[in-house]
Amino acid sequence: MCGIVGVLGDHEAAPLLVEALKRLEYRGYDSAGIATVQGGRLDRRRAVGKLVNLSDRLVHEPLAGKSGIGHTRWATHGAPSEVNAHPHRAGPVAVVHNGIIENFKTLREELHAAGYASETETDTETIALLARRHLDAGHSPREAAQATLARLEGAFALAFLFEGEDDLMIVARKGSPLAIGHGQGEVYVGSDAIALAPLTDRITYLEEGDWAILTRASIDICDGEGRPVHREARTVHLDAGQIEKGGHRHFMAKEIAEQPTVLADTLAHYLGDEIVLPEPGIDFAEVDRVAMSACGTASYACAIARYWFERIAQLPAEVDVASEFRYREPPIPPRTLALFVSQSGETADTLAALRYAAPKAAQVASVVNVPESTMARESALVLPTHAGAEIGVASTKAFTCQLAVLFLLAVRAGRDRGTLDASAVAAHLAALQALPGLMSHALALGPEIARVARRIAEADDVLFLGRGPMYPLALEGALKLKEISYIHAEGYASGELKHGPIALIDDTVPVVVLAPRDGLFDKTVSNMQEVMARGGRVLLVSDAAGIAEAGAGVWESVAMPSVDDLLAPILYALPAQMLAYHTAVAKGTDVDQPRNLAKSVTVE
């Protein structure tokens, strides 16, 4: 959830580190810092808050050196403060760290007893102190780092820098991603390849348990047992323009606007004369059950897909929040397809769920936006979403592309299992291919939604209602609103309203009803009328026919294009996203970097 960068270069490291951290700030923005070695002397600069605060400090207190490490933090242990900011230093060693050291309290007690006192509240400082203790015992930096790694329990990506060592960096990963970038006589490190995009396109991804000794001339990688290993360098095509706002006020606005284009790109990768899946593909005739697991927005994509698998293919499907799945230890019958969804492909709980299912399921597949991610590398089948880099913390285009891939899988399952004939498959795919155009029409509703959002911004509580596959979208709409506007919001199945939540209804609580004119429309309208009868303020999101039929007396309405019933959740995701975005703008909150959140959740 934090961001790590490192440079062994031929140019001053500080500007390179800060620019790389800017590309990682979406991963954490409570504090930031860098450390460099210049003429053998180790020094650092840190600042609380956004990265600009560190940049300002470096103007007044420059930091020289062509070797350096940097970090942007999302707090786990200890409040955001300069003393808790990375890099952490203990004498001749500085460390930056992503993840959580689970046994840090035991290690800290041991270190205190040996005379190594802590100055911070963090688990990371323990790593630096432990390395210092080994250096004080006469170990070389390599020996000290290796001995330190052997004592750590938990998840981590680490980079060590040592005083007196202008041409040495030691890095390691366990449970958190870390990539090494190859330059001409230079070496780079990043917790995300995005950080390295302007510097190099040749990347080596460390595998689980790997650690590496880096110099400008060599990269020596060892596995968790200390054995030398070879890890392939691959060319990664990253468009630096994807991490710019492109004239938009926020990344989230840009990424909402990109959805027609990226959805068309996604479909182009999967549709030829038929649905084309990457090797080894899936034969759904051999599958009796789909078990899906994900976190946050991705879990709502799975919940929508459950309706599709069961309705289109008559294939039983289950959905678990990954953090529960991994500890519930569910039985997985042998003819189960285990399907995992993650934007980053590094989500800690989802990755752990995948590893639990891998030896039990017939096949493990992952739907990810980063084909080089850990989840992708550990899956038998990788289904990329092709959404492009998503920087805003609140997922938008990644969500709709996940849905598109999952819908294609459901249609493929229907074909393989004989529940769809060729004409039905063609009809579903034609409806899907029409979505980018419909999305463009939906985006044109932005000014109208912004006007409604200014009224929503005055509320303390908002309810979202939906039926069928629109129910998980109601959950997603509520999540988006609370993530970036900090308004308390809840999503409910419309039919559940009278079983408790209706007690919350009064004229101060807006109720967003997501109601395409589908087979459940009349029932949704009945639930909506129950709200209105109790003075509730209804925002009806439907098509023109739905609003004409049921819009009398509603507080506000948004008229969507008509869309295929099954695909309505993909299209209706856009007004839910825009409503959250414009509400946050009206409230003046930080849209792209909302408080307490980070983009890639690599800790439990």
User: Which DSSP letter does residue 497 get?
Assistant: G
Tokens of 453: 């959002």
CA distance 39 to 352: 43
Strand partners, 290: 317, 337
Could you say which of 2, 222, 302, 401 is catalytic?
2
Concerning whether 2 is annotated as a catalytic residue, the answer is yes
In three-state secondary structure terms, 42 is strand
Cβ-proximal residues to 519 (8 Å cutoff; 6+ apart), any chain: 468, 565
Query: Tokens 């408790």, residue?
Result: 500
Cα 279–Cα 281–Cα 283 angle in degrees, nearest 5 = 155
Q: Is 302 assigned a catalytic role? A: no
Report the amino acid identity of residue 325: F
Question: What six digits make up the tokens of 481?
Answer: 């609103």
Buried b (16+ CB within 10 A) or exposed e, 360-378: ebbbbbbbbbbbbbbbbeb
- The whole-angstrom separation of Cα 363 and Cα 379 is 8
The C-alpha R_g of the chain, in whole angstroms, comes to: 25
**Which of the following is catalytic: 66, 174, 397, 599?**
599
Q: Contact at 8 Å (CB) between 487 and 440?
A: no
Residue 588 falls in which region: left (phi positive, over 0), alpha (psi -120 to 50) or beta:
left
Residue with tokens 């995701």: 573
Cα distances from 248 to residues 115, 190, 267, 450, 567, in angstroms, run: 53, 27, 25, 15, 28
Backbone angles phi, psi at 90, to 5 degrees: -135, 100
Q: Any idea which residues carry the catalytic annotation?
A: 2, 599
